[in-house]
Amino acid sequence: MGYIAVAIDGPSGAGKSTVARAAAARLGYVYVDTGAMYRAIGLAVCRRGIAEEDTAGIIAVLPEIRLAITYQNGTQHVVLNGEDVSEAIRTPEIARYASKVSAVPAVRQFLLDVQRGMAENGNILMDGRDIGTVILPQAQVKIFLTASVEARAERRYLELCEKGQAVTREQVAADIAERDRQDMTRAIAPLRQAEDAVLLDTSALTLEESIQAVLRIIQEKTEE
């Protein structure tokens, strides 16, 4: 112990990882993106041609998975059975797989030890859905970072347009609402705000304002 753990949870598209990564860099903490781990398992499942809904198939793949988290110039890389999959996991298809595999208890158990272990080696800022509630309930700082569906949809829409993808605002908003529903209603470790988490709504904040708000909360909590 003696290390500081900051848990940042919240729904997809709230800018969580961008804000968390920047805040961690400014504090000199190690940033851990736990969503990337679920995505890596989703990728392994997808590549084996296992259906998203095939829980038994997903569980059968776990013993074949070797997951390593490495850092290059402070940036997290996810290594799946020796292959750096940090880029390959960033597709809508793998996001969908990640959401499905994350509802399987054996998958969550598989990642629990990995994630807890990372908090034992230094100051960390970990982002996910259940960090403050399940993974690091003793974290000194817990933040629930969210934004309205409309604000999240607008940001995501602009991001996708920039990448040249043909989508409508309505489609993007519907996707986000559906992922929220899946993440919040699953039986195990659903997305919810820990009782002792500080709520931060970034709907009306710029990126820099959001980073400053997170840094302020961390400073207040670690000075207590």
| Residue 149 Cβ vs ligand DC, minimum distance, rounded to whole Å | 15
Among 8, 95, 124, 145, binds ligand DC (CB under 6 A): 95
Residue pointed to by tokens 């997170």: 214
| Residue 186 Cβ vs ligand DC, minimum distance, rounded to whole Å | 8
Q: Does the footprint of ligand DC cover residue 11 (CB under 6 A)?
A: no
Q: Shortest CA distance to 103 belongs to which of 178, 53, 145? A: 53
Query: Which of 40, 211 has the CB closer to ligand DC?
Result: 40
Give SS3 for 84: strand
Among 86, 99, 202, 210, binds ligand DC (CB under 6 A): 99
Contacts of 189 (CB under 8 A, 6+ apart): 108, 129, 130, 133, 134
Q: Does the footprint of ligand DC cover residue 21 (CB under 6 A)?
A: no
Q: Cβ of 183: how many Cβ atoms within 10 Å?
A: 20
Q: Which stretch binds ligand DC (CB under 6 A): 58-66, 92-100, 145-153, 159-167?
A: 92-100
What is the distance between the alpha carbons of residues 70 and 112, in angstroms, rounded to a whole number? Answer: 17
Query: Which of 67, 220 has the CB closer to ligand DC?
Result: 67
Among 29, 183, 198, 200, binds ligand DC (CB under 6 A): 183
Do the bridges between strand 75-80 and strand 67-72 make them parallel or antiparallel, or are there none, so unpaired? antiparallel
Q: Which stretch binds ligand DC (CB under 6 A): 21-29, 35-43, 53-61, 199-207?
A: 35-43
Q: Which stretch binds ligand DC (CB under 6 A): 73-81, 124-132, 150-158, 212-220?
A: 124-132
Helix ranges (DSSP H) in 28-148: 34-47, 55-61, 92-101, 105-118
